Structure 1
């Protein structure tokens, strides 16, 4: 007979290994910095278009020596009055006392208020009937992000975090520099699509490494640090663009691309995720990294290796069978795991193969994983739609566009930092619900005030304030989601789960521009839509398991246990919570 052990009793505590290496020492500071520098490399390519592709004020050029072929049916003579607008020329003729007005497109081109080299929109004359092409490049980039988040996250789970991180950052660097030498909008759009894929691949992989480097109690720090770095990266973009506002957009693009060159230092100094190596039974590499980290942190290498050997034997163990058995099957509810005999310290034990290779199809094969995925994908979509939609529909600040951009980023920092303190006090699920509820409620209230008292100064001010509070809240929910989502998937599906969520968020990002059109027809439409979707997200989150205080799940079996409440969260003293 086989003896089945409770998985909760043998649950690995990899945090012990991290602590034994000298947690938060020089090694972890270096590795964390290398991972978080990605913030600048992903923020600059995504938002550089704000300053390289803005629409410069313009008017139609004077007709001059335009031939009659260009004038079509419009008659122009010495008594004709011409008024040059942005996209058309108003032609007024007085014929026998009757005033006749005709309109012509800008047949001679456009005059711009600034040199055309300051923006690719002006350089390539992408205004009026061609105005949508500049925005199309941004939409296509978000489409590329969806593909990149899906493809590279799968590769990172299969081949490791480090090689995918470095490869995508190399590609991103080459493409960012290449964008500065685009000779037309078609080439530019193609490069933006590719940049979106590599940008998402490097960003998600770097974040996954950072999450897996931290212990259970400090995982909320990942989202906070990542959020603050993102906000600081975006804020830095404004002063750089201001200093180079009189230079060609190509020079600005080159200057912004320089931040990606740290990939050369990354290649020599970044280490693979210990959790991923252990989950894939690459123990020799784990030992090498442990020796390196303990050396840099001045810790006891023998103690760290002893802890690792003890923990690594527990990571896989869930079932003990008779030595004569070669294969057994453990069933728990709707899930089943293949169990193989392996040698551990000279003894034959039945072990769950923790290095089991999952594919993205496993997100759909297992009920608990599919249930989790469906809810998180919806939340990712809503967050992206609301976040970018608020940017497009919020009342614009009067004044300098560089200052406006800078201030619009500043408001995100309180939303990011507040999440960290909330997560210290409350569970992941509670925090996600609170921020989504605040976003939904504030946006709904903003709509009510806008429709009832929006014509008054006080009503307009309150509606704007509530709209800004909605942005504060959705920023907080985004950061909470980045912390919560990776904890809901097993190790070899973690990046795939996060990547699929990110891919779904691109649907929201690509839909967000249409919220501006909705606002033109129904001013309260976007706020009502965003608010309602956020409240629905609040309701759905309550059906996800709580992950605070839990070790990151390694197998799908552990995900099932989270739903059946068999895996108990660890208390701050490291004991199991039996309540």
Structure 2
């Protein structure tokens, strides 16, 4: 018999449910999101578009056109962004003006220093303009690869080691990116950054969901949203005050926040749920005793509850030797083998497979909607630092709304509300943008775009919060990783909405609105997880479809009927 999520919750409740130890552990893990977020969004600043135009001939020489005789008195030149436009009088008939266009054969001139951005550094403009967005697309592709591969290591070897190893790789690749001497090197490093960045994000998300007992999990979403919002907003002064420096200096500055890894290595403990689910009872007991001291709870009471939890699986204590548990009388008994699962095990089980497919769609839609709104909205124009700051601020209202709704109306209704808000906001903003270009209309577009961003941000946050509650412990990171892959597919499709809008103006709104509407319908088929323990085993997943007890015992802060 395997230890259940309810049993782990019993220990966490005795520890106080949400005591100092849990708060500190969650914050220690959450703060590493600064490093992942900074690298994820660095392209906004190091890849910004620098105003440019074609360069004039060097050393004051004249422009030459093959087969045409030009003199300083019979032609004029206009240096455009991507072409050199020449107007000249034909030598055969001076009354006829002829126009000729040349590419930027003498290079580019930028209004800022050459190394202010990778765009200017590697001349990613005009016919090479698509290459300027490619590194970010490669990073999203890398995230998909990382989300597919790295969760295995988190579920097999632990949340902490996976996070720290990914963290070290993020630092190394981030610093290496700053010294890229070619565009190809830069692009490859961005792909690798996406892979290891997902190792951090997924282990962080799973760890965070496992810190608290069931009834306090919504606090995870609030703390996650606040930390993410502060992380996004804090990039603004980095970008603004270093805007006159080279992109290499900015990239190194973004890497500086990764020095936090030293604190994480020293003070962060492994997830208690993972330790218990994988039979590492000695380490789990050590962390439980530490938590009891931090939370000022009677250690003996906590240890007794911990032993009670373990005894439901075996009458042994937590110590083991040579593959055997040491019994109280000194006898030994073989340690029960802990089951290991893969993504294939998810798809073999009908209910879990259905949940997973729906979650894939929800994640893809949330990502597609977010990036689609970003690329189709014309309301956020002007200073890139102000625009970025406004977008980052939208993380806070979505987090507040989530906190107020998630336990009151439930996970499923919260998801549906955010998807509906996102879809409606995008549709209305797009309709107004297409039908009117007045000043009043632009204000309305801005308002509804912000509403849509709140919905998109809330949908993402709700998906991150809800998804780990669906999968059992030894499949939690694998399941979350598979849904993250679906999100990357949506993220890569989102930018194409701008191209679609050029041919069918109502196309993006119809697609995004329809996708969000379908998402709200599919949510009906998912189980409600409000007030239920995180499933430890495959069997626990079936319990998600059963109604929870209505009586809440304030003495143990748990669902008492569940523990009887």
TM over 0.5: yes
Contact 1:570 1:576 in 2 (8 A): no
Q: Which residue of 2 aligns with 1:414?
A: 397
Once the two structures are superposed, the pairs formed by residues 110-121 of structure 1 within 5 Å of their partners are 110-121=108-119
Contact 1:175 1:194 in 2 (8 A): yes
Q: Residues of 1 paired with 2:172 and 2:68: CA distance?
A: 50
Contact 2:64 2:70 in 1 (8 A): no
2:44 is equivalent to residue 44 of structure 1:
no
Post-superposition offset of 1:277? 0.8
Once the two structures are superposed, the pairs formed by residues 40-439 of structure 1 within 5 Å of their partners are 40-64=34-58, 71-72=65-66, 76-78=70-72, 79-95=74-90, 96=93, 97-314=95-312, 355-439=338-422
Q: Which residue of 2 aligns with 1:336?
A: none
Q: Residues of 2 paired with 1:552 and 1:166: CA distance?
A: 24
Q: Secondary structure at the match of 1:13?
A: helix
> What whole-Å deviation, never above 9, does each CA across 1:543-569 have from its counterpart, x for those lacking one?
000000001011112213333x2x635
Q: Secondary structure at the match of 2:86?
A: strand
> What whole-Å deviation, never above 9, does each CA across 1:180-236 have from its counterpart, x for those lacking one?
111011111111111111111111101211110111111122222212211211111
> What whole-Å deviation, never above 9, does each CA across 1:329-385 have from its counterpart, x for those lacking one?
xxxxxxxxxxxxx99879x9xx99783111121122211121111000011011011
Q: Which residue of 2 aligns with 1:550?
A: 532
Q: Residues of 2 paired with 1:117 and 1:15: CA distance?
A: 54
> What whole-Å deviation, never above 9, does each CA across 1:223-256 have from its counterpart, x for those lacking one?
2221221121111111111111111111111111
Measured at CA, do residues 115 and 559 of structure 1 come closer, stay the same or move farther in structure 2, by a change above 3 Å? same
Post-superposition offset of 1:69? 11
Q: Residues of 2 paired with 1:109 and 1:175: CA distance?
A: 31
Q: Secondary structure at the match of 1:542?
A: helix
Q: Residues of 2 paired with 1:377 and 1:391: CA distance?
A: 21
Between 271-280 and 397-406, the greater mean CA deviation after superposition: 397-406
Q: Residues of 2 paired with 1:267 and 1:551: CA distance?
A: 29
Q: Residues of 2 paired with 1:227 and 1:354: CA distance?
A: 38
Q: Residues of 1 paired with 2:337 and 2:543: CA distance?
A: 16
Q: Which residue of 1 aligns with 2:541?
A: 559
Q: Residues of 2 paired with 1:253 and 1:281: CA distance?
A: 42
Measured at CA, do residues 569 and 529 of structure 1 come closer, stay the same or move farther in structure 2, by a change above 3 Å? farther
Contact 1:242 1:402 in 2 (8 A): yes
Contact 2:57 2:63 in 1 (8 A): no
Post-superposition offset of 1:500? 0.8
Contact 1:432 1:477 in 2 (8 A): yes
Between 257-266 and 15-24, the greater mean CA deviation after superposition: 15-24
Q: Which residue of 1 aligns with 2:523?
A: 541
Post-superposition offset of 1:570? 6.7
Contact 1:550 1:569 in 2 (8 A): no
Post-superposition offset of 1:524? 2.9
2:555 is equivalent to residue 575 of structure 1:
no
Post-superposition offset of 1:148? 1.0
Post-superposition offset of 1:38? 1.8
Q: Secondary structure at the match of 1:90?
A: strand
Q: Residues of 2 paired with 1:229 and 1:74: CA distance?
A: 64
Q: Residues of 2 paired with 1:296 and 1:449: CA distance?
A: 55
TM-score w.r.t. length of structure 2 = 0.90
Q: Residues of 1 paired with 2:290 and 2:68: CA distance?
A: 79
Contact 1:13 1:551 in 2 (8 A): no
Q: Residues of 1 paired with 2:279 and 2:363: CA distance?
A: 32
Q: Residues of 2 paired with 1:164 and 1:498: CA distance?
A: 15
Q: Which residue of 1 aligns with 2:463?
A: 481
Q: Secondary structure at the match of 1:295?
A: helix
Q: Residues of 2 paired with 1:572 and 1:392: CA distance?
A: 47
Q: Residues of 1 paired with 2:281 and 2:186: CA distance?
A: 45
Q: Residues of 2 paired with 1:553 and 1:362: CA distance?
A: 15
Q: Secondary structure at the match of 1:424?
A: coil
Post-superposition offset of 1:457? 4.3
> What whole-Å deviation, never above 9, does each CA across 1:514-541 have from its counterpart, x for those lacking one?
1121222233322222111111100001
Q: Residues of 2 paired with 1:11 and 1:113: CA distance?
A: 60
Q: Secondary structure at the match of 2:123?
A: coil
Between 57-66 and 485-494, the greater mean CA deviation after superposition: 57-66
Contact 1:364 1:370 in 2 (8 A): yes
Q: Residues of 1 paired with 2:519 and 2:386: CA distance?
A: 33
> What whole-Å deviation, never above 9, does each CA across 1:443-498 have from its counterpart, x for those lacking one?
333444445x4244444433442232111111111111111110011111101111
Candidates 2, 10, 34, aligned match of 1:16: 10
Between 360-369 and 291-300, the greater mean CA deviation after superposition: 291-300
Q: Which residue of 2 aligns with 1:461?
A: 443
Contact 1:224 1:417 in 2 (8 A): yes
Q: Note the residue ranges of structure 1 that are not aligned, 5 or more in a row.
A: 318-341
Q: Residues of 2 paired with 1:532 and 1:219: CA distance?
A: 31
Post-superposition offset of 1:64? 4.0
Post-superposition offset of 1:411? 2.1
Q: Residues of 1 paired with 2:69 and 2:470: CA distance?
A: 70
Q: Note the residue ranges of structure 2 that are not aligned, 5 or more in a row.
A: 316-324
Contact 1:354 1:555 in 2 (8 A): no
Q: Secondary structure at the match of 1:115?
A: coil
Q: Residues of 1 paired with 2:21 and 2:469: CA distance?
A: 24
Measured at CA, do residues 192 and 569 of structure 1 come closer, stay the same or move farther in structure 2, by a change above 3 Å? farther
List, as ranges, runs of 4+ consecutive aligned residues in structure 1 with deviation greater than 6 Å: 65-70, 342-346, 351-354
Measured at CA, do residues 247 and 67 of structure 1 come closer, stay the same or move farther in structure 2, by a change above 3 Å? closer
Q: Secondary structure at the match of 1:528?
A: helix
Q: Which residue of 2 aligns with 1:494?
A: 476
